[in-house]
Amino acid sequence: PLTSAPRPVSTPQAYSQYPQGDSQNGPPPMDHSMAQSPVSQPYSHGAMNLSGPHPSYSQQYGAPPPMQQVTNQMSGMQIGSGPPTSVGPGYAHHPSSQPPISAAYSSAAPPSYTQAPPPLSAAPSQPPPPSEPAASQPYYGGPPPPQQQPFPSAHHPSQPFVSSSPYLGPPSQPQAPPVSQQQSFPPGPPAQQPFPNSAPPPVSQASYSGPQPQSQPGPPPFHSGPSPRGPIPPPSMSQQQANHLPPGPMQQQQPPQPGMQGGYPTQQNGAFGQPRGPQPGYAGPHYPGQQNYGAGPAPAPAPPAQKRLDPDSIPSPIQVIEDDRVNKSSEPFTTGVKGQAPPLVTTNFQVKDQGNASPRFIRCTAYNMPCTADMAKQSQVPLAAVIKPLAMLPLPFLDPPPPQTPPYIVDHGDGGPIRCNRCKAYMCPYMQFIEGGRRFQCGFCSCVTEVPPHYFQHLDHTGKRVDCYDRPELSQGSYEFVATVDYCKNNKLPQPPSFIFFIDVSYNAVKSGMVNIVCQELKTLLDYLPRENPEADSVVRVGFVTYNKVLHFYNVKSSLAQPQMMVVSDVSDMFLPLLDGFLVGVNDSRMVIESLLDQIPEMFADTRETETVFGPVIQAGLEALKAADCAGKLFVFHSTLPIAEAPGKLKNREDKKLVGTDKEKSLFQPQSGFYSNLSKECVAQGCCVDLFLFPNQYVDVATLGVVPVSTGGSVYKYTYFQAETDRERFLNDLRRDVQKPMGFDAVMRVRTSTGIRATDFFGSFFMSNTTDVELAGLDCDKTVTVEFRHDDKLSEDTGALMQCAVLYTSCSGQRRLRVHNMAVNCCSQLADLYRNCETDTIINFFSKYAYRSILNTPTKTVRDTMVNQCAQILACYRKNCASPSSAGQLILPECMKLLPVYLNCVLKSDVLQPGADISLDDRAYLRQLLSCMDVSESHIFFYPRLLPLVKLDGGSLPMAVRNSEERLSKGGVYLLETGLHLFLWVGANAQQELLSNIFGTPTFSQIDPNMTSLPELDNPFSQRLREIIDSFRSQRSRYMKLMVVKQEDKAELIFKHFLCEDKSTSGGASYVDFLCHMHKEIRQLLS
Ligand SMILES: [Zn+2]
């Protein structure tokens, strides 16, 4: 097992988030009327919201910014006069302040960090000229050079499914698999299948019928294993849906075609029926386990070395997604049935809360947990839940708009929420009322607690309270309690939160246009601060600071005619130079704030200061929130590695030579403990930090991201930011980030019933003990993944329960408790476990586990460990649940049949197996980003969605195709969505009509690959395509910039990087190869 990342530990906090107070205190009024009002306003998306009217003020000011200067002398503070230039008094003692050109600070790296050109070599401190398209590309500096090491080629089983056949198919198939239950991919040789626009045949079947071996009287090519065997004959096996891969050689193949990846040799325009050649590097040595399995007839003669599994015969993600969509989207998913896995995240479905949390709040890896630790260990299936406590319920654009409301609010009065006396679990549907309703027995710990008089109610003949369905806490999986003062820090009701904006005004930040864009945008955006009542003004207060190597605070008190600047140039011991007038209400100080935002870009337009600080910026925000005695969020817009002399100063430690070595892990760890310590203080204050990075160089995301990641914040990264091409993405991210519903000063605890407990947590938070997840901020997009382990035996009768309670301060300053309950079944048969798993959630867990493990473990070890664990999962199934069959057959559990393809995507992701083109900052960034992704985001992150743009009429989307170059037609246009990027791939022979409809030109060569949005053409195809793009964007937490990729352009390499079923340039295996590799691993475990 991998070692877990160390979790920061600090002394326990002074106040208890979970008061031990007696829940029976003071009988509150018998007012149980549930507040049925929504908790928060419906979240409205970015720009749409901004189109509304907002007060506009005349903004004509004289050319020289009339910034008033304050002249009070405070120790350590220097008062500037005039715009802060490097020669101003406040800067005098910083001789290092120099014009940008000479600011080479690093003698080590000659193309000094401020000077190197973006893509590959050295980079300039200025943004690259707009004419260089490469500069604005998502996160790849340039085309990835091809890399060495093809994945498993050395010991690659060339023909894993080969020798199984003659005798070892199901010896006597007990019953022919009924089509309704068994899935079998059509037995016809896939080579003859016409390409139907998408890979797999649209049949719902259960076993893969591979093509039969030519030379053998093969068994039914695919059998599914209904007949159980072995020590555990699961009674339910008859329904088991197993996927058996073809026993025989799939297809006679031509010799490998090494040059294949260069073009499209195997496909003609629109035709995919040609036999596919093996992929380069595929041929492997003899399969070692081949000879000694089975006691029966000798295996088939060794096949010719060059045979290849046909991609159409192996489990297809697209088919699984499509089947789920067809079967599960029509009826609402009801949460009352324990042990039932929900529809996939790719399916649009409605939810009826019947006492368990919606899958939009909680998804589990397994809905039937093994009863014992031994069983869990044997299967190696991780037991985890991915929890998104403040998830937004489905957005109205979904079709049809689901009639769902946010969780109900419950008020139990002055005594606070009613809880179990012993384990402190909150009142929920799992509490059993006894003794006529006078007491209740806790479903988590079995302790019996008195019902307080004000909460008493009679029971009906079934033992249920008669008011059961009137009370969300007795009938629903998710709801909120109003928290009392006992649940507040220092037993004091909280103040409304504050937002503080910190704008880097150093040379790079100004020159890129960032400063100007932020200031312009804030003038509008401040009218959209979060609020619970859409009618009322937001109570969130705001403050403003600009900085380079010194900090400039602004007094924007409403009574002032003009804002006042106060410069703090001694950053070694940060303090707040003003209290009154720093944090203000937007409406009160609107004139002053707008004046300030107009002046900032002018004031720093000619700055020559290149150095920045970072630690003091966070410290200043922390001090401001402390002084105001409130929680809040810092928005930091930052451009460079903070090398100026100050606490938290960093050095450039980028060293690509360490990649792939045992020392690689150090690159993901922070440079020093400074930011970890600062995080602790931030969390204690409820100070959440969101970081917007605009780097032209290495900025050490691994270190700068520590505070955001530990405080529940987010990191956004706009490498080589250019105003014209990146403005839209940045502004959409910023708008959403500012407006999104969130809680502050949050603590989350997961309680479980006897037998299991939460042992490990993944996400953006801080933990000072082993149970409480502390989040200075928690927004609607953040998830926490929780791993469970047995500490006792579980019972099939009672199942396993979990309750996630999140205490937080709402954006209006109310203390709330959101509760999500989840019950799953427990099983003593492995088959039941394997029948009710959720592979997307397992992958979410595995990827978070792996991405954290690389902090302490060599990356290769992490990858190997993952392969091994998945092989064990599948081997355990094969051994205990599948029917007897040839060892040469790969048999996969129905709901895990995509585990290999998805696992391969994780293994070859940029974080775990980087190509030469990906920077250390990008890897650190992606690593942090993944840590709080929900299942839907992680799914598309690892397996992007590739849509052929064929018929776009009607409301439905075209069916996606598998992520492989083989699936692309030269005559087509495809949209690829990764969750972070959108690509529009245009085939070289795309029809003229298609091009005209999309781009307004019929000529391929006239399409401008630098466009970031499509022209608004007046034809249905164009309209529909833009609608699709808009709807994709609105479903993601980050805005996806559109990139047009013309076939065989240089930029195509970036696009191909996301075709994750193909072999990757960084050495990642193709899906086919990886499946063979997994099969070999499984066979080794079984032998
Ligand atoms: Zn209890």
If we measure between CA atoms, which residue out of 865, 890, 863 comes closest to residue 877?
890
CA separation for the pair 112, 96 (Å, rounded): 16
**12: pLDDT strictly greater than 60:** no
| Ligand 1 mean position, distance from CA 730 (Å) | 47
| Ligand 1 mean position, distance from CA 800 (Å) | 14
| Ligand 1 mean position, distance from CA 439 (Å) | 13
| Ligand 1 mean position, distance from CA 684 (Å) | 28
pLDDT in tens, 476-511: 999 999 999 999 988 999 999 999 999 999 999 999
| Ligand 1 mean position, distance from CA 370 (Å) | 22
CA separation for the pair 440, 1042 (Å, rounded): 56
Angle value at C-alpha 192, between 191 and 198, nearest 5 degrees: 80
Structure tokens at 578: 């003003």
pLDDT in tens, 895-949: 999 999 999 999 999 999 998 889 999 999 999 999 999 999 999 999 999 999 9
| Ligand 1 mean position, distance from CA 65 (Å) | 63
| Ligand 1 mean position, distance from CA 340 (Å) | 25
| Ligand 1 mean position, distance from CA 851 (Å) | 35
| Ligand 1 mean position, distance from CA 446 (Å) | 6
| Ligand 1 mean position, distance from CA 757 (Å) | 13
Q: In which region does residue 463 sit, left (phi positive, over 0), alpha (psi from -120 to 50) or beta (all else)?
A: left
| Ligand 1 mean position, distance from CA 455 (Å) | 18
| Ligand 1 mean position, distance from CA 292 (Å) | 55
Helix (H, G, I), strand (E, B) or coil at 873: helix
| Ligand 1 mean position, distance from CA 754 (Å) | 10
| Ligand 1 mean position, distance from CA 445 (Å) | 4
Q: Parallel, antiparallel, or unpaired: how do β-strands 498-504 and 632-638 relate?
A: parallel
| Ligand 1 mean position, distance from CA 431 (Å) | 9
| Percentage of the chain modeled with pLDDT above 70 | 70
| Ligand 1 mean position, distance from CA 365 (Å) | 25
Axis crossing angle, helix 935-942 with helix 899-907, rounded to the nearest 10: 80
Q: In the predicted model, what is the mean pLDDT of the chain? A: 78
Residues 712, 746 contacting (CB under 8 angstroms): yes
| Ligand 1 mean position, distance from CA 8 (Å) | 29
| Ligand 1 mean position, distance from CA 756 (Å) | 14
| Ligand 1 mean position, distance from CA 427 (Å) | 10
The one-letter code for the residue type at 185 is: F
| Ligand 1 mean position, distance from CA 1027 (Å) | 50
| Ligand 1 mean position, distance from CA 799 (Å) | 16
| Amino acid 394: pLDDT | 64
**230: pLDDT strictly greater than 50:** no
**106: pLDDT strictly greater than 60:** no
| Ligand 1 mean position, distance from CA 492 (Å) | 27
| Ligand 1 mean position, distance from CA 421 (Å) | 6
pLDDT in tens, 1033-1081: 999 999 999 999 999 999 999 999 999 999 998 899 999 999 999 999 9
Q: Which regions of 584-706 does DSSP assign to beta strands (E)?
A: 632-638, 687-693
- What is the number of helices (H) and of strands (E) in the chain? 23, 32
| Ligand 1 mean position, distance from CA 819 (Å) | 15
If we measure between CA atoms, which residue out of 226, 192, 196 comes closest to residue 211?
192
Q: What is each CA distance from 106 to 553, 615, 640, 651, 899, in whole angstroms? A: 30, 20, 14, 8, 46
| Ligand 1 mean position, distance from CA 467 (Å) | 22
| Ligand 1 mean position, distance from CA 997 (Å) | 63
| Ligand 1 mean position, distance from CA 751 (Å) | 9
| Amino acid 623: pLDDT | 97
CA atoms 321, 841, 869, 979: torsion sign: positive
**β-bridge partners, 785:** 386, 762
Q: What is each CA distance from 1076 to 156, 581, 887, 1069, 1084, in whole angstroms? A: 8, 66, 13, 10, 12
| Amino acid 247: pLDDT | 41
CA separation for the pair 1048, 263 (Å, rounded): 8
**161: pLDDT strictly greater than 60:** no
| Ligand 1 mean position, distance from CA 788 (Å) | 18
| Ligand 1 mean position, distance from CA 444 (Å) | 5
**633: pLDDT strictly greater than 80:** yes
| Ligand 1 mean position, distance from CA 999 (Å) | 63
Q: Is the peptide bond before 400 cis (omega within 30 degrees of 0)?
A: yes
**β-bridge partners, 695:** none
DSSP string spanning 774-803? Answer: EEEEEETT--EEEEEEESS---TTT-EEEE
